[in-house]
Amino acid sequence: MAIRQAVAAGVLDRDARDLRRKNPTRAELMEAVGWTPQPDLQAVLVPPGYAHAVLQAWKKNRMTTSRAVELMRGQIEEPDLEPSGSVS
């Protein structure tokens, strides 16, 4: 629905079918909607800006998946950065 609305609004200039086939990873979804805060003292948390910077560096292949997970201090795991599969 979001893709259809973006096409109708003229925001997308590429083939929307390609976007429909790509499901976001859990980490990408968390980045898009905001990092869910956890109750204090249950885990070490990283600030949203820091989390965003880590993911951007990972997406640009400036760090390995394991290093990104390490820097996120328990907020994500390696499977969170892997594509969740395609939808027809």
pLDDT at 86: 38
**Radius of gyration of the CA atoms of the chain, in A:** 15
Angle at 78 (CA atoms; ends 63, 65), nearest 5 degrees = 10
pLDDT score of 85 more than 60: no
Please compute the mean of the pLDDT values over residues 7-20 and round it to a whole number: 68
What's the predicted TM-score (pTM) here? 0.52
The more confident residue out of 44 and 5 is: 5
| Residue whose pair of structure tokens reads 């594509």 in the numeric block | 83
pLDDT at 14 over 70: no
Q: What 3-state class would DSSP assign to 26?
A: helix
DSSP string, 29-80: HHHHH-PPP--TTSS----HHHHHHHHHHHHTTSS-HHHHHHHTTTS--GGG
Q: Tell me, what's the pLDDT at 34?
A: 73
pLDDT in tens, 16-71: 656 666 677 778 777 777 766 555 545 667 888 899 999 999 999 999 999 999 99
